[in-house]
Amino acid sequence: MNIKVSGELSGIIEVLKKMAMFEVTLAELYSLCASTWKEDSEFWLDIWKDEIRHTQFINRIMEVISKAPERFEKGRPFNIFVIETTVSDIRNKIEKIKKGEIEKNSLLHITSDLEKGYLEDRYSEIVTTEDVEYRTLMQKVVDDTGKHKEKIVQKIKETTTQRESR
């Protein structure tokens, strides 16, 4: 049953709004990392740009779904509380970085865990559809997230190697 008939459109849009907030908050974290650890600013800003794009993609997805909800069926349920808790945790980390309470190496592991988390990997499961624009946008988010994981893991390896060679 499509989300227009089932009445689930507003709930799905609400989840997508929370997902967009998650992306904005991640972007804020990465921007702060770039300004805090200037020697790695290019690394952090590359990921930051993707998170900003993800927010734009999700906003576009909300438009696509809202304009033609009959083309979408409810997929995997998302727990808004989990998204809100994750956003709150990221904001907490942001404050700790500002206070100098988190070192770069620790933060790399934290961001690795965030990127490995299920949120972005599962975005595309919120609805099922054959809509090409939706599927394309969601696939870009999933692909970028995979690249972020790889970049961060590589940066952890580089940082570990640098520390060991001292």
Question: For 21-53, how does the pLDDT look when each residue is reduced to its tens digit (9 = 90+)?
Answer: 999 999 999 999 999 999 999 999 999 999 999
Q: CATH number of the domain that 121 lies in?
A: 1.20.1260
24 lies in which domain range? 3-164
131 CB-contact burial (10 Å; exposed 0-12 / middle 13-18 / buried 19+):
middle
pTM tops 0.85: yes
In the chain, the largest separation of any two C-alpha atoms, in whole Å, equals 64
| Predicted confidence (pLDDT) at residue 121 exceeds the cutoff of 80 | no
pLDDT by residue (tens digit) across 71-102? 999 998 888 898 999 999 999 999 999 999 99
Q: Give 2's DSSP letter.
A: B
**68: which residues sit within 8 A by CB, 6+ positions away?**
131
pLDDT score of 159: 87
Range 55-70 average pLDDT: 96
Give the number of domains in the chain: 1
